[in-house]
Amino acid sequence: MDFDQHLVNIWLERAVREFSTNPLSPRLIRRIADELPELFMAAAVKYLDSEDQSGAHRFLASTLLRNPSVFEEVANPAFGPRQKAVGLFRRLLAVDPSADVKLAKRLPDRNGLNHTEAFDSARSARALDVLNETSVGRRLLPILSHLVDSPDPRTSEKATLFIGRRIQSVSWAARQLAKDDPRVRANAIEAIWGLKSSGATSLLEDCVDDYCNRVAGNALVGLHMAGRPGVTEHINDIVTAPKPVFRSTAAWTMGKIGDASFVSQLLVLMRDDHPEVRSAALRSLIQIRRSPVQPAPIEPEPIQQEAIQQEAIQQEESAVTLR
């Protein structure tokens, strides 16, 4: 018999449905996984893209972990949006708390011993994104800390955020600011969000006028989180910045902070000459309008209202962050 995805889907659907009543269901699931691993994985991950915590779903997760290529799937950008990969990996971590270590070891190691089979640039970036949202504590630091200095820019910037969030060191963040890559520098500042010490706020204040718009925007968000005064006034100042990247960052920062008092300024940016500024303003308006607390925001003009609603439909499944 020729086996195809449709047939495997039918078998797996029945095994999951009858898992608690048919003692042969676990055996069938394992047989499919052993004999048709690729087809099984394609069928099983669909079940784990949910909040279902049944025994069948836990069994599917544990069975997937028997196949090392599941980590390739998690790290593959073609798998889907980042949050989909994060959701799948959370399911795997629930049945194997060491899954984050196993995923981390698929990234290029410190001594070049695994570089022929390690993840490529795109997969490394996705794996670091997933680990950043799922792995708790500092136990991966010895495995991943060297990636901050990776020659691959994407890996370096993602590793900077991962490592920086876990050590939250002002002096470490300041050292990363000496690097040339703007995304590394911006992520170093994002990594100290939540710190309220005098050293942290001093570094953030030094960065609000940085030549890189991403660094400046992240510094303003960090100061807002630290409760420092003057953030709103500074954001309002860069709304009229000559460079569109700074006006775009002003719009992004407003959405990140989420204060409805920014709506009037965002409506101004919706009429900006530059399309990226208008796009950033639109996304931030959507973000603020979705916020659970909205103290009487100003209603947009009809044409803007229609644009906001259409953009919301397009971005319902995944939000895009523009800095």
Residue 253 above 90 pLDDT? yes
DSSP SS3 for 316: coil
Residue 256 above 90 pLDDT? yes
Whole-number pLDDT of residue 145: 97
CATH fold of 239-318: Leucine-rich Repeat Variant (1.25.10)
Whole-number pLDDT of residue 292: 65
DSSP sequence for 196-215: -SHHHHHHHHHHTT-SSHHH
| 214 close to 322: Cβ distance less than 8 angstroms | no
DSSP 298: P
Residues 89-121 pLDDT 10s:
999 999 999 999 999 999 999 999 999 999 999
Residue 218 above 60 pLDDT? yes
- Give the closest residue to 216 by CA, choosing from 257, 255, 186: 186
Tell me what the mean pLDDT of segment 33-44 comes to. 91
Comparing 184-188, 189-193, 312-316, which segment has the lowest mean pLDDT?
312-316
* The Cα angle at residue 323 between residues 227 and 265, in degrees rounded to 5: 65
